[in-house]
Amino acid sequence: MAVKTRSRRRQQNGINLILSVLVVLILLAVIGVSGFSLYRKLQAGEARKVELQEEIAAEERRAEEIEEYREYTQSDEFVREIARQKLGLVYEGEVVFKEEGSQ
């Protein structure tokens, strides 16, 4: 009887070992798939970060251009230019030539 008990224990130990190895392999597969998924999300996040940094730089350049234009619109040069274009004003002693057919 002692021989049968040892044989059963060995057989049971073998089954337990195989089941343990299978569980570990399944866990490793799940962790691997999850890790790969997280890695892809990380790459997508990095690409989005670069894209947003480029957009920020473009908007900063645009803000600088707007500020320069605002300063220009407050200058005397701008006022003179608009007065010449819109109102047809000229400097003292300046001669204006008009093409035929234009008003």
Give me the residue spans of the domains in the chain.
2-87
Question: What is the pTM for the complete model shown?
Answer: 0.54
pLDDT tens track for 33-76: 999 999 999 999 999 999 999 999 999 999 999 999 999 999 99
pLDDT at 6 over 90: no
Hey, how many other C-beta atoms are within 10 angstroms of the C-beta on 78?
Answer: 13
Instruction: Identify the band that residue 89 occupies on the pLDDT scale cut at 50, 70 and 90.
Output: confident
Average pLDDT on 3-25 reads 87
Vertex 57, ends 52 and 66: CA angle to 5°?
130
- Which residues neighbour 59 within 8 Å (Cβ) at sequence distance 6 or greater? none
Computed from CA positions of residues 59, 64, 70, 73, in that sequence, does the dihedral angle turn out positive or negative?
negative
Distance CA 63, CA 69 (A): 10
